[in-house]
């Protein structure tokens, strides 16, 4: 049996004491010669192969159950169970392999890093001083989205989110309806456009004509907004090797009074695909 567990299990917790006995404790057969019984032969060795396989399968399930209980206690429940290469709901029928997929574990440092870098980018690359004031967490909130088809719900304490299961995401969204416009003006300034396209006067005109049609993407001018600059820096951090982080302009989380026609800009954090998920694998 081979194991690929993320940490070694304590030996005293798992043993064969309770493993089922699938063979007889003793088995003998008569030895005959010329049709007459001349003795007995012990056949227990022949059946030990069956008992050995049963013991290995017992340990296979015991190890998986033990490791899974540890993850649940740590607030990281399983998201997918694969038994003998097929998705399943329990491990009872496992014969050769068990794989348990978990969400990518979050930690407070990762959350703080996202908040710090995004807020810093807003303050650093804002086109005008009033936009720089948007770089405060008081103007932002975290939403947790449990699945791709679900709507987000405000997270009272983002540090309570211990893991991101498959298909779920954390969304950092602004409370202010000015962030979308401010990000656009930062991109215009970054592109080297004349200040009349990103100055206070341009802001005032944009607010007056809310939701007017703007270019479909700021890259058309060659500029990058503060949202993308903050996220691009995060992507280079080793903290995010198990996560996908991106900026999305969306109507799904659009503020009711949003001023930017392309939708409210949000930062979306999700775990990478299966190969990046924390897994427990036990194989016979």
Read off the pLDDT band of 1 (50, 70, 90). very low
Q: How wide is the angle at C-alpha 197 spanned by C-alphas 192 and 199, nearest 5°?
A: 100
pLDDT digits (tens, 9 = 90+) for 170-205: 999 999 999 999 999 999 999 999 998 899 998 888
Contact between residue 166 and residue 80 where contact means Cβ atoms under 8 Å apart: yes
255: Cα separation from own chain's centroid:
26
Between the two ends of the chain, the Cα-to-Cα distance in Å is: 4
Phi-psi domain of 85 (left: phi exceeds 0; alpha: psi -120 through 50; beta: other)? left
pLDDT digits (tens, 9 = 90+) for 5-36: 333 334 345 554 555 554 455 555 555 565 66
Q: What is the pLDDT of residue 101?
A: 72
Residue 137: closest CA among 170, 171, 175: 175
Least confident stretch, 101-110, 112-121, 241-250: 101-110
């Amino acid at each position: 049996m081979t194991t690929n567990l993320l940490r070694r299990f304590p030996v005293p917790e798992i043993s064969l004491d309770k493993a089922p006995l699938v063979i007889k404790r003793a088995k003998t057969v008569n030895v005959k010669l010329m049709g007459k019984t001349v003795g007995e032969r012990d056949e227990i060795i022949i059946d030990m192969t069956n008992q050995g396989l049963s013991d290995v399968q017992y340990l296979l399930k015991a190890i998986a159950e033990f490791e899974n209980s540890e993850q649940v206690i740590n607030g990281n429940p399983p998201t997918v169970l694969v038994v003998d290469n097929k998705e399943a709901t329990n491990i009872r029928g496992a014969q050769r392999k068990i794989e348990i997929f978990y969400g990518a574990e979050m930690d407070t440092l990762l959350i703080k890093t996202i908040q710090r870098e995004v807020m810093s980018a807003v303050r650093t690359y804002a086109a005008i001083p009033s936009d720089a004031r948007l770089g405060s967490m008081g103007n932002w909130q975290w939403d947790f989205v449990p699945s791709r088809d679900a709507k987000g719900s405000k997270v009272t304490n983002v540090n309570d989110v211990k893991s991101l299961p498959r298909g779920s995401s954390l969304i950092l969204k602004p409370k202010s309806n000015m962030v979308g416009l401010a990000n656009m003006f930062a991109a215009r300034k970054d592109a080297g456009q004349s200040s009349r396209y990103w100055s206070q006067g341009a802001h005032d005109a944009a607010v007056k004509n809310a939701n007017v049609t703007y270019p479909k993407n700021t890259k058309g001018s060659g500029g990058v907004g503060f949202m993308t600059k903050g996220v691009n820096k995060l992507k280079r951090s080793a903290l995010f090797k198990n996560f996908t982080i991106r900026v999305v302009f969306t109507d799904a989380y659009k503020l009711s009074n949003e001023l930017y026609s392309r939708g409210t800009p949000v930062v979306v954090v999700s775990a990478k695909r299966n190969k990046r998920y924390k897994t427990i694998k036990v194989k016979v």
